[in-house]
Structure 1
Amino acid sequence: MSIIESLKNYLATCPELSDKEININYLSQKPDSFTISNVAKDPIVKRYVSGETIRQYCFLLVGRIAYDGDLESNLAISDFFEIFENWIFAQNEAKVFPDFKDMELVPIAIEVTKGGEVLDTARTSARIQFELRLLYKGKN
């Protein structure tokens, strides 16, 4: 299993996403769909004299959610942002990470590096995005 596939399975355990469609590198036009896409960044965050490294896997969670421009829709989006970010924080605090056992990497943290934002809106949906990163100890 790849890192991105493990992240997909992990994010599907979030109560706010558990009943939503989550794809990899593809966002459907229908509301309540999400995608995970990797972001090109230098994978090495820190290199130790021993040769061990701390690495990062940066990714986006992009979603399309129901939206009609009224106050209730705007509040629902804001609530989603807050709930998702708090879930990531709580998972980090509890050291609950994706399953990477078969990949010989040890997760250290998953962080929201840029909070939720509305990218654009249409008549019936809004496209939203979070930037995140997985920090892990990797193979030498």
Structure 2
Amino acid sequence: MSVIGAIHRWINEKCTVLDQYRELFMDYLPEDTEGYSLEGVPAEPVVRRYVNGDMICRKVFAFSSTEVYDGIDNIDTADFYEDFANWMEHCTEDKNFPELPEGEEGMSIRATTDGYLYNENGKRCQYRIQCEFIYFKKRRI
């Protein structure tokens, strides 16, 4: 399984702040219903390469949601994204990371931006938060 696929499964199964009635999609966010999406973001994948071939790697991703666009709900959405960022920080503290293939191990996961309004379309809008997962990858022989 890909790293982004492992992150998707982990958030879907472990995240305690998600609305259980919303679906988490991959690279897709419906415009007409409230949902979540995980999308890979272009970034340098290798943070550090050791002489023995081991690496510290990163996967940058955006977590997005479709929301009702009005003043009261926007406050709730800001609260949700702050809770989501805090949840990832706690996961790093507890060393609770996505399950990776043998030879790979999570090191940290965190938000790199606050949740922000990404796009609005009348009564609906899209919020997004950018995140980074750092993991160790042992050289494969």
Residue in 2 aligned with 1:123?
Answer: 122
Contact 2:53 2:138 in 1 (8 A): no
Superposition pairs for residues 12-91 of structure 1, below 5 Å?
12=12, 13-17=14-18, 19=20, 20-67=22-69, 69-70=70-71, 72-91=72-91
Task: Give the secondary structure class of the aligned counterpart of 1:75.
Answer: helix
User: 1:53-78: CA deviations, max 9, x gaps?
Assistant: 101111111111222x22x1121111
Counterpart-to-counterpart distance in 2, 1:32 and 1:103: 36
Measured on the aligned residues, the alpha-carbon RMSD in Å equals 1.6
Unaligned runs of 5+ in 1: none
Unaligned runs of 5+ in 2: none
- In the TM superposition, what is the alpha-carbon distance from 1:97 to its structure 2 partner? 0.5
Task: Give the secondary structure class of the aligned counterpart of 1:114.
Answer: coil
User: 1:2-34: CA deviations, max 9, x gaps?
Assistant: 212211111122122251211111111133211
Contact 1:62 1:130 in 2 (8 A): yes
Counterpart-to-counterpart distance in 2, 1:60 and 1:113: 10
Equivalent AA in structure 1 for residue 52 of structure 2:
S
Contact 2:97 2:106 in 1 (8 A): yes
Task: Give the secondary structure class of the aligned counterpart of 1:115.
Answer: coil
Tell me the percent identity. 25
Of the structure 1 ranges 115-124 and 87-96, higher mean CA displacement relative to structure 2 is found in 115-124
Task: Give the secondary structure class of the aligned counterpart of 2:112.
Answer: strand
- In the TM superposition, what is the alpha-carbon distance from 1:120 to its structure 2 partner? 2.2
Alpha-carbon spacing, 1:125–1:83, altered in 2? closer, same or farther (3 Å): same
Counterpart-to-counterpart distance in 2, 1:94 and 1:21: 26
**Structure 1 ranges of 4+ moved more than 6 A:** none
TM-score, normalised with respect to structure 2: 0.88
Task: Give the secondary structure class of the aligned counterpart of 2:98.
Answer: coil
TM-score, normalised with respect to structure 1: 0.88
Contact 1:32 1:65 in 2 (8 A): yes
Residue in 2 aligned with 1:107?
Answer: 106
Task: Give the secondary structure class of the aligned counterpart of 1:137.
Answer: strand
